[in-house]
Amino acid sequence: MTAVVIETGSKRTFASARDWPGWSRAGRTQEDALEALVAYGPRYGKVVQSARLEFAAPREPTDLKVVGRVKGDAGTDFGIPSSAWKDDPKPLENRELKRLVSILEAAWAAFDRTARSAEGIELRKGPRGGGRDLEKIIEHVFEAEEAYLGQLGARPPERAGDRKARVTGLRTAVLDALDARVHGRPLADPRNTKNPWTPRYTIRRTVWHALDHAWEVEDRASPEQDAKAARQTKGKKRSP
């Protein structure tokens, strides 16, 4: 059974795998969110298996077990699994930190691969003509991770060099800050952050955001018939 935490807002509900950061999907109801989580299991599995982690995707919502519930907020209704969990402040042992960091790095690698594969492809617009282009998605993810680092309690590094250098510098700073926070060391470049995020929450939020946009790019870069099939699968129960 896959342990799941339910985050309920007034308009939207998220189902998030407790032990697999970033595997979070939303729906109008809890049932919708659980079905979406199952539908995205194989996609998430490809990411974490690239980090050499054993992962078995659930086949049905009955393979999921709700083990916790949190109240959502405006972020939840906007489409972000934004609520903290009661276990987030718990200390992280080195082994668990290594596992979580491997998932974070796998998510970054997945986003980078997807972005490279979509270069030169015009991403399909939404039904109302909306949706960022690839360059804006890449920049959005970078800027969000700068903000996440600030919420962790550290200042983002100066933007210097080309995009690859800036991304590498930022990700290194994130990993250094996570390690410092977990082991109680001073941050290299601290920021006066009120109520900083915990390392667990920071990793969960960062992985979710990177994968959410990686999958968005995959879907919008694929042929229309493939995207239609993906949308149908998303809300469809799977047969045994």
DSSP for 178-215, written as a single string:
HHHHHHTPPPSSB---SSPPPHHHHHHHHHHHHHHHHH
Give the pLDDT of residue 102: 98
Mind listing the domains of the chain with CATH numbers? 2-87 (3.30.160), 94-233 (1.20.120)
Provide the token pair at 102. Answer: 């491997």
Mean pLDDT over residues 51-60, rounded?
95
**% of the chain residues with pLDDT over 90:** 88
pLDDT at 231 over 60: no
Give the pLDDT of residue 128: 60
Neighbour-count burial of 73, counting CB atoms closer than 10 A to its CB (0-12 exposed, 13-18 middle, 19+ buried): middle
Cα 174 versus chain centre, distance: 15
Q: How confident is the model at residue 205 (pLDDT cuts 50, 70, 90)?
A: very high
Give the pLDDT of residue 125: 87
Mean pLDDT over residues 176-194, rounded?
96
Give the pLDDT of residue 237: 37
Give the pLDDT of residue 226: 52
pLDDT at 233 over 80: no
pLDDT by residue (tens digit) across 93-147?
Answer: 999 999 999 999 999 999 999 999 999 999 998 766 578 999 999 999 999 999 9
pLDDT by residue (tens digit) across 76-93?
Answer: 999 999 999 999 999 999
Q: How confident is the prediction for the chain on average, in pLDDT?
A: 92
